[in-house]
Amino acid sequence: MKYEAVIGIEVHAQMLTDTKIFCGCSTKFGSEPNTQTCPVCIGMPGVLPVLNRKALEFAIRTGLATGCKISSHSRFARKNYFYPDLPKGYQISQYELPICEHGCIEIVVDGEIRKVGITRIHMEEDAGKNIHEGDGNYSFVDLNRAGVPLMEIVSEPDIRSPREAAEYMKKLRTMLRYLGVCDGNMEQGSLRCDANVSIRPVGQKEYGIRAEVKNINSFKFVEKALEYEIKRQIKVVEEGGKIIQETRLWDSNRGVTEAMRGKEEAHDYRYFPEPDLVPMVVEQKLIDEIRATLPELPDAKRERFVSDYGLPEYDADLLVAEKTTAEWFEEAIKSGGQPKTVSNWMMGELTRLLNEENKTMEGCLLKPAQLAEMLKLIDKGTISGKIAKTVFEEMYKTGKDADAIVKEKGLVQVSDEGTIEKAVDEVIAKNPKEVERFKAGDEKLLGFFVGQVMKLTKGKANPQIVNELLKKKL
Amino acid sequence: MELYKLNISEARELLDRKELKASDLLDSIYKRIDDIEDKVKAFVTLTKEKAYQMAEVSQRIIDTGKSFPLSGIPMAIKDNMCTKGILTTCSSKILANFIPPYESTVTSRLGDKGYILLGKTNLDEFAMGSSTENSGFFTTKNPWDLERIPGGSSGGSAAAVAAGECIAALGSDTGGSIRQPASLCGVVGLKPTYGRVSRYGLVAFASSLDQIGTITKNVKDSAILMNVISGNDPLDSTSAPLPVPDFTKVLGHEIKGIKIGIPKEYFIEGMDKEVELSVKDAIKKLESLGAVPVEISLPHTEYAVATYYVLATSEASSNLARYDGVKYGFRAEGKDLMDMYMNTRAQGFGVEVKRRIMLGTFTLSSGYYDAYYKKAQQVRTLIKRDFDEAFKTVDVIVTPTSPTAAFKIGEKTEDPLQMYLSDIFTISVNLAGVPGISIPCGFTSNNLPIGLQLIGKHFDEETILKVSYAYEQSTEWHKRRPGI
């Protein structure tokens, strides 16, 4: 029998606010334990939460970008459970009446557009972190993260394959970064992903029993974890077993998902409306104000790159994946670069160099105008395309202009026929055997001669002239 | 006259006229405390050293001739309001060692206006109770009869005011915890409208019902304190962003033509005859002052106690989850995390608190939520509507504060339901969020105080203060003090 997977994804995204969701403590990552805390976020007796307006705005921003309906009336709820990293014994979250509902994100898989529904987006506070170190008799609790604002973004079970799930995560990450509401860093935990997975025979309408896969803590594991889980479920069913509803943890070292112990998941969260916060009334005016500040989103940008710059879909897709990349590209065009050429350099050399250093565009020393200037040097014939690669790498590393590098290193292309002719003559004189073979019809040897001339001129000879002269002389 | 017997306005006048030094007033009160506190047991903590420091600061300000309303006025604070650097226990073993690094908004406002903190008063653990018998430390005695309870949960504050161990006090009221002890101790207790006074720093029992208020020797003192503690607080989202009137301005205004609603559901069977008689006399008195009594109905009254005990315990079960031995307060050892949690909470909380945590945990559980919590919320709305409806025709509602005068220590401890019924007349007021005040309106044949409750519209404390003041000025009840 053929099976189809049904996947829904819950994403927890840490919002990029400066302060926590219910107090004024900093949200900076990586400080000394418990240095970014106050009576409110460590749950001292008698303190009260006050909503960070920025967090509300970020949630609305995300809702608008994903086509959600923004609730005019929304409220917080308490999710009750005991854990040392949860200082109040409950998490302030949303349950009934979330801030955003009924949105949609488009993903492209194998050239086909797929729509993934967004069930809801809600705000909540993050928990702290337990630290297990020392003699083993005690654990420690760091509450710096307690109260950092999160958005929980819940998708409909519209995803049908691990590939789609990965595309969905990539797209969501791109959008969150465009919106400036989350840095999207899965490894640092500012973007977390849980997946609800079930299988059903192809053609069946009803959903199967689902398992929740947690702890998928890196982009590269989204597909792997889901592939494993789907295979596991198919195997269980084909062997006559039944899928049970459970929470499973992805173990990236062993590449498997494993059921959590029953006790740990037997939670009754006893949700009820948070009495310390008044219900939120979101006025249309605020929604309109936030809508007016939305940036151009990746889908729109991609379309524009294709129609305005004549880029292939493939190029446009890669360029818009990061807002900084797309902006860099457009800067280079503004400075006079030809779109497809700029795109080629960015996707080729620039990406290669960044990857070598494990860097992103944010850390890129090279300015878009510098690339445009270098391209002009190629067009003018000042440097050859080959030399340009050297120049580019130097620009990337030092941040110097192409002009300066060319002058400094004497990389100006030699187009003077006399100089080139001398080199050509020398090469012909030095390689009589090859000359004979070439004349006998082995035309492939032309490349050999060109190479020798270039070597002699340290790559600076204008390749076109070299070619012409060689053909003439041979 | 002994200085400890002064009320706020009398003390203010003497202090401002330089006929009295803040430290002399303080001497007199601490002397009074030394004399009777081992009998009354109103205080959990006394802050004598700090009080004299505060008195010195206040005196300097008084000497400039520009005193604040509370400069040099010694007050007692219920021990569930956080005071920076001073033990705040909620009369619970689980917080017996807790010293907050922050100040509650109310005490910080009192501080800004020059008050002197005498000490922190006893309460039923986490404000859960009607007698202070649920205190994790000891039971406070009623100054009128030391074998009786002072009421609760703000029993320590009410007893301290009645016994002259302070000039005035703050309490908190979730279901009657200011008004019932005020009634049983023969003093004035005001629970303001929910949202009128900031709850920041008040250790939560039931967040949607808790409200801080005043316990004073007379109505005017209550108005004076309300002027200081009321008003929006950016630290409490549930505090109302409304302007605060000068509550003393309306005192002395005529009450002619004021319509007072008498809810027929509040004169129930089983009510103490002497209480009923005193309250009816009080109504006649109000009538003689020009008020117009109108019989009204608050039809959902009979569901109030049940509704309250579902909602209050639900919220409490969550509010008290933070006392887990991890971060502060009492911790019992255990072989693992779960064991530590269970030992800490088993040993740290008293019987009544545990009972309520269990009740609330149950009513919020999946499968029961709709039947209990949600249903109770719906009934709460109906109860609130009862009041809205009634206030379309009347200005104030008048009822007894408590069905009986102070009962004997131990009399109701074996029967929690009987104990819960002591708040039967006060609970609806918290559910509706409206303000209520209890003022002395008579004595039983045993010389035990009886209280009259006046209930007002949302954010209309002025009217109940005005009517209370008119009544008080035409009677002598508030002038009686226990013989202790």
Segment B156-168 shows an average pLDDT of 98
The reported pLDDT for the residue numbered A398 is 85
The tokens for B274 are 């002497």
For chain B, say whether A279 makes contact (Cβ under 8 Å): no
- Give pLDDT tens digits for A37-86: 999 999 999 999 999 999 999 999 999 999 999 999 999 999 999 999 99
Q: What is the pLDDT of residue A264?
A: 53
One-letter amino acid at B465 equals: L
Sorting pLDDT into bands at 50, 70 and 90, what band is B16? Answer: very high
- The interface pTM score, or ipTM, of the predicted complex is 0.95
For B88-96, what is the mean pLDDT? 98
Known active-site residue B71: no
DSSP characters over A385-418: HHHHHHHHHHHHHH---HHHHHHHHT-PPB--HH
State the DSSP code for A350: I
User: Quick check: B369 and A270 CB within 8 A?
Assistant: yes
Which domains does chain A show, CATH number per domain?
Answer: 3-290 (no CATH), 298-404 (no CATH), 417-473 (1.10.10.410)
Does the structure show a pLDDT above 60 at A237?
yes
Domains identified in chain B and CATH numbers: 3-255+473-479 (3.90.1300.10)
DSSP sequence for A20-75: -SSSS-B--TTPSTTSS--TTTTT-TT------HHHHHHHHHHHHHTTPEEPSEE-
Confidence of residue A262 (pLDDT cuts 50, 70, 90): low
User: Closest Cα of chain B to A186: distance in Å?
Assistant: 29
Tens digit of each residue's pLDDT (9 = 90 or more) over A71-125: 999 999 999 999 999 999 999 999 999 999 999 999 989 888 999 999 999 999 9
Residue A460 has pLDDT above 80, yes or no: no
Closest-CA residue to B173 (of B461, B454, B437): B437
Mutate to test the interface with B, among A276, A278, A280, A281 (most CBs of B within 10 A): A276
Band of the pLDDT at A440, cuts 50, 70, 90?
confident
Instruction: Return the sign of the alpha-carbon dihedral for residues A179, A184, A189, A193.
Output: positive
Give yes or no: B183 in active site.
no
- What confidence tier does A380 reach under pLDDT thresholds 50, 70, 90? confident
The chain-wide mean pLDDT, for chain B, equals 96
What pLDDT shows up at residue B375? 97
pTM of the model: 0.90
Name the more confident of B267 and B25: B25
Is A75 in the B-facing interface, judged by CB distances under 8 Å?
no
Token pair for residue B312? Answer: 């209050």
User: Is the bond into B153 cis (omega within 30 degrees of 0)?
Assistant: yes
Using one digit for the tens of pLDDT, what is the confidence trace for A312-338?
988 898 899 889 999 999 988 888 888
What pLDDT score does A266 carry? 63
The distance of B337 to chain A (nearest Cα, Å) reads 9
Structure tokens at A272: 């009820």
CB contact under 8 A, A48 and B235: yes
Q: Does residue A49 sit at the B interface (CB-CB below 8 Å)?
A: yes
The answer, for B90 touching chain A at a CB cutoff of 8 Å, is yes
Maximum Cα interatomic distance, chain A, rounded to a whole number of Å? 97
pLDDT band (50, 70, 90) for residue B9: very high
- CA pair distance B37, B34, nearest whole angstrom: 6
State the Cα–Cα distance between residues A334 and A368, nearest whole angstrom: 9
Task: Say what the pLDDT of residue A263 is.
Answer: 52
Residues of B in contact with A277 (CB under 8 A): 237-238
DSSP H stretches of helix in B297-448? 304-319, 337-348, 351-364, 375-390, 416-420, 427-432
pLDDT in tens, B117-151: 999 999 999 999 999 999 999 999 999 999 999 99
Tokens 């970008």 locate to: A65
pLDDT at A267: 79
pLDDT for A431 beyond 70: yes
Residue B391 pLDDT grade (very low, low, confident, very high; cuts 50, 70, 90):
very high
Amino acid at A401: D
Please give the C-alpha separations between residue B468 and each of A29, B119, B217, B397, B462, in angstroms, as whole numbers: 57, 29, 13, 12, 10
Give the closest-approach CA distance of A84 to chain B in angstroms. Answer: 6
Strand ranges inside A166-322, DSSP E:
191-201, 211-216, 246-251, 256-259, 272-273, 280-281
Q: Which tens digit of pLDDT belongs to each residue from B230-287?
A: 999 999 999 999 999 999 999 999 999 999 999 999 987 778 999 999 999 999 999 9
Q: Cα dist. B149→B158, B411, B416 in Å?
A: 11, 9, 15
